[in-house]
Structure 1
Amino acid sequence: MRTNLDFSPLFRSSIGFDRMLNALEAASRIETIDNWPPYDIVKSGEDDYRIAMAVAGFSQDELAITQEQNMLVVSGQKANAEDVQYLHRGIAGRSFQRRFELADHVKVVGAGLVNGLLTIDLKREIPEEMKPRQIEISTDMALPKAEMKQIEAEKQAA
């Protein structure tokens, strides 16, 4: 049983959560779940991730990996073998496109295809200016004195 949720009250009362709310709304709209090709998502370190996707029968030239802002798109397009006549076709060779929503500052650092398993390595790289930093506290720091400017001077009678 699928329940449709209305996220419009959250859009009206929150600021800066647009991407998260859009992702929740998009996830609730998914009607058919295509489980092909099968894949795993593994957290291999504090900021390291790996996607392993079973793409047996696809060559490196028939696969494409594209990162567009916070979206990773993996697609496969099988080359047409027009001169082959199948008596039985049990190996899936259909075209596919799989999308992965990435968090901020997650970048693809490498990809490889070995024995029909496509692996994509990801790393979250937080910029230095966004990392927490320790501020040193000094005890003998002299506060700068503000310059005092005289705005009006009393006029003395002569």
Structure 2
Amino acid sequence: MSRISVFSAPFLLGFDAFEERVDRLAKSADGYPPYNIERTVLPDGTEKFLVSIAVAGFAANELEVMAEDNQIMVRGRQKDEPGKEYLHRGIAARQFQRSFLLADGMIVKDATLGHGMLVVALERPQALKVARRVEIRSL
């Protein structure tokens, strides 16, 4: 049985991959680690975004930020240190993977780690409005 979605409308052409990404993001949406997204609009119309992810306890070499195919994938992998004996363990060494879907034209500028926060900076320059006449050919 086929599934009906918003993207199956006949006037939405070429959105198949976008729908697949949205489905993948919805399946992987748990609450860890928590994050914030800030947006700033500059006077020239450029939008800047900061994605701040709480990664306390992770070192830079235990984190990975990948920008590929209109999405950002952030992974964290901590390893238990053998030989450590805990009297109480309230902070778990936990792996995570969090994805953010990006609109066309978004640019991943950089990622910084400080004070337990991983901050990924994004930018979307103001898009130029382009209209052109398409000539109709006779066969």
Q: Using structure 1 for the length normalisation, give the TM-score.
A: 0.67
> Quick check: 1:53–1:118 contact (8 Å CA) kept in 2?
yes
Pick aligned residue for 1:22 from 20, 25, 28: 20
Partner deviation per Cα, 1:26-71 (whole Å, 9 max, x = no partner): 46x63x7410111011112241101001000001111000011211
- Show the counterpart of 1:58: 58
Alignment CA distance shift 1:38-1:90 (3 Å): same
Q: Output the CA distance in 1 between the equivalents of 2:52 and 2:90.
A: 22
Q: Matched residue of 1:78: which SS?
A: coil
Q: Give the RMSD, CA atoms, in angstroms.
A: 2.4
> Quick check: 2:7–2:16 contact (8 Å CA) kept in 1?
no
Q: Does 1:6 align with 2:4?
A: yes
- Show the counterpart of 2:135: none
Bigger drift between 117-126 and 102-111 goes to 117-126
Q: Using structure 2 for the length normalisation, give the TM-score.
A: 0.75
Paired AA for residue 16 in structure 1: G
Unaligned segments of structure 1, at least 5 residues: 134-158
Unaligned segments of structure 2, at least 5 residues: 131-139
* Structure with more of its chain in strand, by fraction: 2
Q: Matched residue of 1:103: which SS?
A: coil
Partner deviation per Cα, 1:89-134 (whole Å, 9 max, x = no partner): 11132011111111111121011111101111001136xxx6137x
Whichever of the two has the greater Rg, that structure is 1
> Quick check: 2:7–2:15 contact (8 Å CA) kept in 1?
no
Q: Output the CA distance in 1 between the equivalents of 2:19 and 2:79.
A: 38
